[in-house]
Each structure stands twice: as C-alpha cells, then as structure tokens.
C-alpha cells in the first residue's frame, strides 16, 4: 500500500472476525516491529504472542478489573460502556514488553524512557504492517501492567508496554478527526 494511504487507513480496531491470523502474517508483523529505531540499536522489545482462548480470557479479566477500578475511582463515564470483547474475539494478542535497561544514554540526563520510546515505535511499525496486510489492530493499555505481568509471567525487570489485538476487522470505523499540527517556527512560542 502506498505510504500515505497506509498511514491513514490504519484504524484502532475494537471488533474482530474469528478468521485466523496465519503464522506468516504474525512473522511479518513482528519483523516490521523489529525494524523500528531504538537507542544504540539495543532493540529493547520482546513479544508474547497469545492465541490460547483461556489465556485471552484471563487477559480480558485483567482489562475488566482495570475498567472497574477506573469506574470505582470516579473515572470518565464512558468507561462504563467500554466493552472488551475484542480481547477474546481477536485471534491473536501480541503483548509488547520492553527492557528499561536497554534505553541508551538518556539515563545520564534523567531521560529514562528510551526503551519505552523504542517499544512504542515498534508497536506503531507492527500496527502499520497489520494494516498493510488488511488486518485490524489496537494499541491497548487499559490494564494494570502488574496484573498482566502476573498472568503472563513477565519478569520484574521488564515492562509491559501494550497489548495489540490483531485480526480481521469486523467493521470499518470512521477515522477520528485530527487537529492541525501544533508547530512552532524555530523556537517554542506560546503564541504560535
């Protein structure tokens, strides 16, 4: 797909068909992630590919718990209506994990998010690759990372970045509108 079309056609997908995602498609998506930039090319990401229905149900439960926590804590009203069926519907969930110790030199300057930044670039590459394959995906973070860690057995020194459900979209959604870029010329100016 042409680049501009690809970037614009990627949509957050929250409803999936049960159609399987092939090993080959998953490999292509992971390979795209692997080509993301990272500090000192440390490639701090790892992936847990979850296709087992029981495991997906456990992940959904983690999401539902987070949702309840937000509702109980007086969070936004939409949380009550936010369904998480897609965590079980999607044939595969790719959980992206990063190693914060692989964040490059930013740590010398109090900038400790290098590994997380790289992992985010990796997630975006993966989602664009999924869109290029005609698949839907979602950058999902509505969970307590510690709960996901417990379900998947992620070691304490690694961080859970995102859960990316992937599959055939069940419906095409309209793109939410974008604002004009907030651009400053040459130097930051609050009046720009």
Among the candidate windows 23-31, 46-54, 109-117, 138-146, which touches ligand FMN by CB under 6 A? 138-146
DSSP codes, 124-189 = HHHHHHHHHTT-EE--B--S-HHHHHHHHT--TTSEEEEEEEEE-BSS--PPPP-PPP---SSS--
CA distances from 112 to 37, 84, 118 (A): 16, 32, 12
Q: Using CB under 6 A, which of 15, 58, 139, 168 touches ligand FMN?
A: 139
Smallest separation, CB 8 to ligand FMN (Å): 9
Q: Using CB under 6 A, which of 34, 61, 141, 168 touches ligand FMN?
A: 141
Q: Which is nearer to ligand FMN, 21 or 131 (CB)?
A: 131
Smallest separation, CB 11 to ligand FMN (Å): 4
Smallest separation, CB 53 to ligand FMN (Å): 21
Decide: is 175 part of the binding site for ligand FMN (CB under 6 A).
Answer: yes
Q: Using CB under 6 A, which of 5, 6, 12, 85 touches ligand FMN?
A: 12
Torsion of CA 143, 138, 175, 124, to 10 degrees: 110
Burial class (CB in 10 A: 0-12, 13-18, 19+), 14: buried
Q: Which is nearer to ligand FMN, 12 or 111 (CB)?
A: 12
Q: What residue ranges bind ligand FMN (CB under 6 A)? A: 11-12, 14, 138-142, 175-176
């Amino acid at each position: 797909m042409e680049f501009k079309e690809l970037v614009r056609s990627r949509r957050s997908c929250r409803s999936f068909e049960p159609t399987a995602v092939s090993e080959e498609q998953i490999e292509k998506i992971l390979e795209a992630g692997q080509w993301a930039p990272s500090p000192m090319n440390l490639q701090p990401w790892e992936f847990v590919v979850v296709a087992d229905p029981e495991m997906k149900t456990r992940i959904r439960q983690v999401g539902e718990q987070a949702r309840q926590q937000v509702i109980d804590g007086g969070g936004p009203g939409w949380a009550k209506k936010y369904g998480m069926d897609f965590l079980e519907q999607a044939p595969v969930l790719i959980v992206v994990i990063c190693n914060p110790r692989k964040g490059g030199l930013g740590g010398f300057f109090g900038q400790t998010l290098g590994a997380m930044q790289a992992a985010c670039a990796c997630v975006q590459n993966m989602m664009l690759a999924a869109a290029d394959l005609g698949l839907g995906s979602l950058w999902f973070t509505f969970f307590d990372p510690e709960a996901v860690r417990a379900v998947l057995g992620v070691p304490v020194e690694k961080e859970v970045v995102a859960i990316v459900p992937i599959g055939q979209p069940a419906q095409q959604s309209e793109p939410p509108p974008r604002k004009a870029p907030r651009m400053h010329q040459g130097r930051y100016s609050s009046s720009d």
